[in-house]
Structure 1
């Protein structure tokens, strides 16, 4: 099981691998706002757990396990952001997502995913939700 910090590293490695193909220590350091030695230590842990192939001063390569977990982490993040948007949460959605994503169970993630899908497939129900006790009005007048 990955710690929240290790999940953040793996999620960013996965994002960089999709966007650029090549992942470097400096990319991760800049994105997460951490020192190069901190990134190197995290990479060694991820390497030892089988999520990446990493040697100092070389590019970082995700393993199949790393790709699967990275994809899950990115999809979890996107789904939570979408959920918070759909319910008209009056918060900093990316920050709130970051606060939630590491502490929510997989079963709750699956339930929220189903709810988001239900609202997408049933716009009339979603409109009813928006009208429920002024959800839509609260979003306009925080």
Structure 2
């Protein structure tokens, strides 16, 4: 029986919330449900429900009508999510893919890529960045649609 791929974190929704909260904390020192709701395009009541779940999981500190902050564990997961996002973006940029396409693709890929696949992408990205002739050869074989 094949092994199940390991992901760097849990559900897609959880990843999105933790990533949003982390970015808001970087900007303001805390997050608010209204900001998360606006940024994710989700109703405030749905955000409140998820915040309560994440609080119960020990990933954030949530007090109604106050700022939301990530716990140490929540911060570690958020940083891994962001690193995964940045790695996939960096990889796709090597090939001259349009930014809008990269954004849409990474938003889908980042939630489903296994650690093993991400590590392969990281190694390949590093190799291509340090071997421009190889990258140029690969890009020359691509037929990208006009952006």
TM-score normalised by length of structure 2: 0.85
Higher relative contact order (CA 8 A, sep 6+): 2
List, as ranges, runs of 4+ consecutive aligned residues in structure 1 with deviation greater than 6 Å. none
Give the Cα–Cα distance (whole angstroms) in 2 for the partners of residues 33 and 141 of structure 1.
30
Among residues 119, 127, 136, which one is paired with 1:127 in the alignment? 136
What SS does the corresponding residue of 1:92 show, helix, strand or coil?
helix
Structure with the higher fraction of residues in helix conformation: 1
What SS does the corresponding residue of 1:103 show, helix, strand or coil?
coil
Unaligned runs of 5+ in 1: none
Alpha-carbon shift at residue 88 of structure 1 (Å):
3.6
TM-score normalised by length of structure 1: 0.88
Question: Between Structure 1 and Structure 2, how many residues are aligned?
Answer: 138
Unaligned runs of 5+ in 2: 1-8
**CA deviation map 1:6-45 (0-9, x unaligned):** 1111111111111222211111000000111111111111
Give the Cα–Cα distance (whole angstroms) in 1 for the partners of residues 27 and 81 of structure 2.
16
What SS does the corresponding residue of 1:22 show, helix, strand or coil?
coil
The residue number in structure 1 matching 2:46 is 38
The residue number in structure 1 matching 2:4 is none
